[in-house]
């Protein structure tokens, strides 16, 4: 899983987790439900924060809106209370209401006290717009698809064009779901930091792969009269940012919601290392949670005993987050496969675009790109 080699010029010296996925954080699982039907290419991805009841055992959490061109649900209460009390659902923009219904139904079924003897529940749904590839007006995602994604959740999961990532485009190439993890050693203990992204942003020439200007190589390959994707060369290279990216960060490091907010802010560093510049029309949102402390919904005592890392020990965590976010974006590209969009155009994946460019031009930069992708030059 993940990229075949360590990132060139990695900002962090932390090692990867065993799976190199967000699920290296104990208790975290991920599931997809993918819809591929005619002009529809969309779906739902669900991140389960732990293996218990998230409403009864809430987790410290925070969110940071890097650029707010988005239609998410649940962020206001997270910002106010600093806790996560449901799974996290990812989907397309117009399916946020359906996914919210699905999460609410799932939580009501497991918690008969919600809305009766206790308060209501705060579903968390985040989105990107897959309308360039999928018929978003079809409203194909149904509430029950959230339950199906939850039922499929596990430690191992697919990346690329699956679940919520089925119709996403990243840097003019096929994007979608990507994940990575890092291992932190502090206070004599080992901890995991995992990241999952839903990538749907960027212009092709801006793409960086391990510091290499891969997008410019692909956009200006010899004989390149068209961009290596379903979008026109003008759209792929004009620099207008109309996409979005969702970043979910999980860790078992004992961090407060205030510290998790600081962690979220470092997601932008990882995005920038892949070439992102956070455009006017893009939506970038980061959400982070820690599994180290449980915040019980019901408690007889007046005080909670919560463990917390010192602020002056956060720098290695910030570095690891930047590194994991960078690799997760690249992993979404690496694992995606070439598809045909709703209008019959080809949306090429990074691997196929690199092979095509290498077959047309024999050059050192292309060979370097192929090597960094773990691919043999044709």
Taking the chain, what is the end-to-end CA distance rounded to the nearest angstrom? 24
For the chain, what is the radius of gyration of the CA atoms? 20
Cα dihedral sign, 294-66-267-4? positive
Catalytic (active site) residue 100? no
Q: Catalytic residue, from 244, 290, 331, 332: name it.
A: 244
Whole-number Å distance between alpha carbons of 339 and 42: 12
Whether 179 is a known active-site residue: answer no
* Among 85, 127, 241, 284, the one annotated catalytic: 284
Query: Is 282 marked active-site?
Result: yes
Cα(142)–Cα(124) distance, integer angstroms: 16
Max CA distance (Å), the chain: 71
Compute the distance between CA of residue 6 and CA of residue 28 in angstroms, rounded to an integer: 24
| Residues ≥6 apart with Cβ < 8 Å to 241 | 201, 202, 203, 277, 278, 279, 280, 281, 282
Pick the catalytic residue: 282, 323, 331, 332? 282
Assigned token pair, 376: 């043999």
28: helix, coil or strand? Answer: coil
Angle between helices 364-372 and 350-360 (to 10 degrees): 150
Would you name the residues annotated as active-site residues?
244, 282, 284
């Amino acid at each position: 899983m993940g990229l075949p080699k360590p990132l060139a010029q990695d900002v962090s010296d932390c090692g990867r987790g065993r799976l190199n996925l967000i699920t290296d954080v104990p208790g975290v699982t991920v599931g997809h439900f993918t819809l591929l039907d005619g002009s529809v290419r969309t779906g739902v991805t669900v991140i389960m924060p732990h293996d218990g009841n998230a409403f009864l055992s809430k987790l410290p959490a925070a969110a940071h809106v890097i650029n707010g061109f988005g239609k998410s649900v649940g962020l206001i209460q997270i910002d106010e209370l600093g806790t996560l009390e449901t799974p996290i659902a990812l989907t397309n923009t117009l399916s946020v209401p359906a996914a919210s219904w699905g999460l609410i139904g799932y939580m009501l079924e497991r918690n008969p006290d919600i809305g009766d003897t206790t308060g209501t529940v705060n579903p968390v749904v985040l989105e990107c717009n897959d309308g360039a590839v999928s018929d978003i007006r079809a409203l194909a995602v149904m509430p029950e698809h959230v339950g199906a994604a939850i039922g499929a959740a596990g430690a191992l999961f697919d990346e690329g064009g699956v679940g919520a990532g089925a119709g996403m485009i990243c840097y003019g190439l096929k994007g979608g779901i990507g994940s990575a993890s890092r291992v932190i050693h502090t206070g004599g203990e080992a901890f995991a930091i995992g990241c999952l992204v839903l990538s749907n942003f960027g212009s092709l020439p801006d793409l960086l792969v391990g510091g290499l200007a891969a997008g410019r190589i692909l956009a200006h390959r010899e004989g390149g009269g068209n961009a290596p994707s379903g979008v026109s060369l003008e759209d792929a290279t004009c620099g207008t940012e109309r996409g979005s990216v969702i970043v979910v960060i999980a860790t078992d490091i004992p961090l407060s919601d205030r510290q998790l907010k600081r962690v979220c802010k470092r997601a932008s560093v990882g995005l920038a290392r892949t070439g992102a510049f956070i455009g006017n029309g893009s939506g970038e949102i980061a959400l982070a949670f820690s599994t180290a402390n449980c915040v019980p919904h019901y408690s007889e005592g007046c005080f909670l005993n919560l463990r917390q890392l010192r602020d002056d020990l956060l720098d290695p965590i910030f570095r690891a987050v930047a590194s994991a976010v960078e690799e997760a974006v690249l992993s979404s590209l690496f694992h995606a496969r070439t598809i045909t969009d709703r209008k019959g155009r080809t949306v090429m994946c990074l691997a196929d675009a690199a092979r095509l460019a290498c077959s047309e031009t024999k050059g050192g930069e292309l060979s370097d790109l192929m090597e960094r992708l773990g691919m043999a030059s044709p």
